[in-house]
Amino acid sequence: MKRIFVPCVAGAALLLTLGLVAHLPMQIGSHAVAQTRLIAAQNPDAGGDPLVMLSDRYESVANKVMPAVVSIEAIKPPRLVGSKTTKPVEESGSGVIVKSDVKAGYYVITNNHVVSQSKPEQITVQLQDGRVFRPTVVNADPESDLAILTIDSPQALPTATLGNSDNARVGRLVLAIGSPFGLSQSVTHGIISARDRGQVTLGNAIRIKEFLQTDAAINPGSSGGPLVDMTGEVIGINTAIASHNGSNSGVAFSIPSNLVRKVMNQLIQQGAVQRGYLGMQLALSFDPNEAMRLGLDRVRGALVEKVFPATPAADAGLVMSDVILQLENIPIRNENHLINLISSLTPGQRVRLQVWRNRDSTALNAVVGDWAKAQARFRTDEQ
């Protein structure tokens, strides 16, 4: 059966599924046991059953974060499909209110695909207490699928804290909060299943991908909602699911909070995100047979398929079939890892690349280019 990756945005309709409910004996996995013991150790005066203490922690974290979680309705304008014009579409998603390190005010973090093409007056943000706002400014970064909505409020608003996603280790307990199928303030739980998931296809516009993977139940309408650790800090923004039918299958993806913070601050300060580039096309897959043919002892690095002329990659001397093994002192896992690293660099920065070529390792120096200027140039060349 074909697997599809689905952005978690919902239409206006509420979907109900009727079926059998099986009551099974409850089993607690080793990760949950370990973390309940940790919680008990941190709360020696609480006493009682570790399961009750874990339940209390879930409740405490949910109560701490839920007031800052919002439901979002966005009206998408009509589109021309063939010779016909579609009707406006209302889509729903989720978001979370935070404060920024770079500018005072209240900001709602959500996914770009929730609000893309919608004007501020077509977007409604509703809080847990029922208050409703329209954003005064909408800044978006399609390449990371993030959008930041500026909210003006004369009264104080509840906010959540962006945590350090580097601490989101595999096996850690998490809560996902959002509005699946329009059911606002829904809370589910799970663990961090994996880190640094990049080989996830979400359309051509989304280029920066280093997702946290979780088995917390996430469904259409959950897009933009927070993934929260057991300290009550936001460590991810829920974005997509891998599914055969468009609903939760236990494989969901969240944008890590450290990337969210970086994108948010740049959008607030300058309205856009500055990214570096080198100017090459990388192989989407690099299998063991190809690695062995090139003389590598394992699958690692990013395989260069094409180098575009008059780019930093060409100036550095990169050629087709090179395998980039290292950027400065960072070993490259795969092509997506390299894209993320180069994108995070400042244009004009000099970097050293370790490259595998002709069954030997060589070093090259490159000067990072400006991705925004490169895109404008490539569009001009195509015309």
* Residue of 251, 192, 254, 247 lying closest to 225 (CA atoms): 254
Is 145 designated active site? yes
Is 189 designated active site? no
The answer to whether the CB of 277 falls within 8 A of the CB of 349 is no
Is 244 designated active site? no
Q: Out of 71, 100, 113, 165, which one is annotated catalytic? A: 113
Percent helix / strand / coil, the chain, rounded to 5: 25, 35, 45
Query: Cα–Cα distance between 307 and 315 in angstroms, integer?
Result: 10
Residue 261 is classified by DSSP as H
Q: Out of 71, 94, 179, 223, which one is annotated catalytic? A: 223
Query: Cα–Cα distance between 180 and 241 in angstroms, integer?
Result: 12
Q: Out of 71, 94, 141, 145, which one is annotated catalytic? A: 145
The answer to whether the CB of 250 falls within 8 A of the CB of 215 is yes
Contacts of 356 (CB under 8 A, 6+ apart): 294, 295, 296, 301, 322, 323, 324, 325
Residues with a catalytic annotation lie at 113, 145, 223
